[in-house]
Structure 1
């Protein structure tokens, strides 16, 4: 949710005081435009906007322009907190290059003095409607609640219609993080922060809620709801963990689904999300990797090709920035892939991507997913795990074909030009150990941990062969000293065009991955 510069475990505080999220600190919004850097092709690089744009919500207008709105950000001119930005707005024509537009409000909503968090934007009944969370200042002093504002245009200004619901209107607390859905012609609002996720029916003008319709749909582990309908299911995307402790935060996204709008919402293990009351207890569909920390609290949109995209915030551990002494949460977007049985996987491997194919373009790999024997062009021998090992750190080498499953590899496209390569025998991933970038580092197998050293670009050489380039190091798989002997070590080395760096992918069979994205 909003920033926490106190070092306090916000979820513990919420449970103790019975109200919403705590603390705020701001960010700096730039004028002009910002985007993720590109590589000159059809790729973009996360993150897309910074240094600070938490809790993004997104909607696309009829002209095709996307509009994103975030939690408040302090100005950088030294003024006090009364001058914080009142919901910053970004716009984009392509979903990956963003321009700062201004603020949603011309003046602070007046029903309590506080900070505006977690806006939720939709176009409904001919108007742009925004539900926002408002926290009192100081945060111990009053009631948390959700308000409504409307505008004729997405860039505002938005007219405030005051509070819709607050902590004193029901038995629990955590009355923030609203998400609006129209279902069967009736308006509803999902909301909640670490004291249950709820849904309630709204009045036709959206300015109040109908008594007796409040229903809990998920447990105390969650906040930041997003609701999405697809293929006969309603999906409840929620954030769990710690959002605002900087680079040690544990925020991530979990997902439940139901064939009924009102639930029960169950996760991929079949567990009713009402039963989750502990942080990070369920199955993550988006979680941290070695660079991007605490990815969560976002929204979903769909591009021109019918591909779904999740916008969210995360910390960048490799480019740490601080705004008013608080670590900055930056703006990300990643594609949502769907398994054959309709579960979402965000970013291709459930972690933030550094690079991905741009929205509105076709993102397909050059090899179909499946089991392959990977043959060195120079030696004619196959890539294998030594001695059919199944342990982390086992050596990867070449050997004459012998029908061992240790010589067969599940090759899976994860988007953005990147693949992961699992050994069929061990179910471990091809890996450059310790993230080495040195020529000569031996390749090994390790359990999948989502890092760049386990991701590979498979590049066509123009002669029907391929090179296997490590995403983290930029170096390619190479048979040491161009050996043709059984047992020769497979290493990484700078590309030099030698046949010992070229590989054939000989297709064996197709295997469907499981719900968690693994092939077995």
Structure 2
């Protein structure tokens, strides 16, 4: 008479145990959300396409403006002489137009590459590269606007490679500290810095080399007593075969020496710490690099803004490298910046908070 009762008790106990295990193993099923809200506050790279190569970012009020290299987007938008896009959140962008209405005339030919836009006083200064591929004497110029949407009026040449004594003088970056203005520049022939005059329209003093010939696209970010020099390494513009990466070194002084973790000087060889490289495999992005200014959101997260090419669509229909705009949070590990897995993200993630 006891066996049926015991069997029943064992059965009930087993069922309760299974139910308990199942309950502990499963996450709550999320409530359905409206399609218009399911990605609110999240982003998936790229945040802008088809092209915004060599980006630079400046904030005016509550709006971010991003600028890129002169390019022809083919049937995805045509020709743009320094395209300008804007956003409130670094995720949703819209095209404003072009920063320049006509090309500067101080050089007979070339493209306007890698602009760097900064608010200087009450105006917006755009230092830019003027170069052709393989140019023997590229240079850096300045254009100025009263508002970030332009139009920027060309001020003229700051220097060319011959006058400054540095081959391949492109990729300018403006930096100001304690009232002193500086310009950094260089591309695979050494990275350099020099003081600017009070109005920012000319150089003064002697140039100082800060890194060797393995990097281009200088960006300086100061954090917790260190100056971080970000630079791009590898080939920028070979479609899905592009090997571009972002490397970094740091220094306690603006003029260097910039060191890697092991104490090697970026001046002395191909040294630096990897921040981001292309995704492994056949998917994701190739050639991530030439980062813009680091943007810090209200939660204190630093965001890297940079370009990269979808391996599935690395070029436009006319052959232009389809360098799309990417963003990702910077992870600081013992005082050194890197992206998660040192790769661009390819899935939806929480975005910046402003």
- TM-score category (smaller protein): 0.7 to 0.9
Residue 168 of structure 2 is aligned to residue 170 of structure 1: no
Pair 276,141 (structure 1): closer, same or farther in 2 beyond 3 Å: closer
1:58 aligns with 2:21: no
Conserved in 2, the CA contact under 8 Å of 1:38 and 1:45? no
Give the secondary structure class of the aligned counterpart of 1:349: helix
Alignment partners' CA distance in 2, 1:327 and 1:75:
9
Give the corresponding residue for 1:343.
Answer: 336
Q: Is the 8 A contact 2:249 2:272 kept in 1?
A: no
**1:133 correspondence with 2:126:** no
CA distance in 1, matches of 2:37, 2:287: 24
Deviation of 1:129 after TM superposition, in Å, equals: 0.8
How far has the Cα of 1:358 moved from its partner? 1.1
Report the secondary structure of 2:291's partner residue. Answer: strand
Q: Note closer, same or farther for the CA distance 1:270–1:38 as it changes in structure 2 (3 Å cut).
A: farther
Cα distance, 1:109–1:77 mapped onto 2, change above 3 Å: farther
TM-fit CA distance, 1:357: 0.7
Question: Per-residue deviation at 1:77?
Answer: 7.3
Distance (Å, rounded) in 1 between the aligned partners of 2:243 and 2:119: 33
Contact 1:38 1:44 in 2 (8 A): no
2:39 aligned residue: 40
Inter-partner Cα distance in structure 2 for 1:327 and 1:103: 19
1:287 to 240, 263, 277: 277
Runs of at least 5 residues in structure 1 that lack an aligned partner in the other structure: 1-36, 362-520
Whether the 8 Å CA contact 1:266–1:273 is kept in 2: the answer is: yes
Task: Name the CA distance, whole Å, in 1 between partners of 2:37 and 2:233.
Answer: 31
User: By how many angstroms is 1:142 displaced?
Assistant: 5.4
1:67 maps to which residue? 65
Q: Which TM-score applies when normalising by structure 1?
A: 0.58
Aligned 8 A contact 1:176 1:192 in 2 = yes
8 Å contact kept, 1:59–1:301:
no
Q: Please provide the CA RMSD for this pair.
A: 2.1
Q: Shift in Å at residue 276 of structure 1?
A: 2.2
| Partner Cα distance (1:97, 1:288) in 2 | 23
* 3-state secondary structure, aligned to 2:71: coil
Structure 2 unmatched runs, 5+? 1-35
Deviation, 1:84, is: 3.9
Corresponding position of 1:416: none
Q: Tell me what 2:244 maps to.
A: 251
The CA distance in 2 between the partners of 1:241 and 1:313, in whole Å, is 14
What pairs up with 1:26-425 in 2 under 5 angstroms?
39-61=38-60, 63-74=61-72, 76=74, 84-112=79-107, 113-136=109-132, 139=133, 143-212=137-206, 214-277=207-270, 282-290=272-280, 291-299=284-292, 300-339=294-333, 341-346=334-339, 348-354=340-346, 355-360=348-353
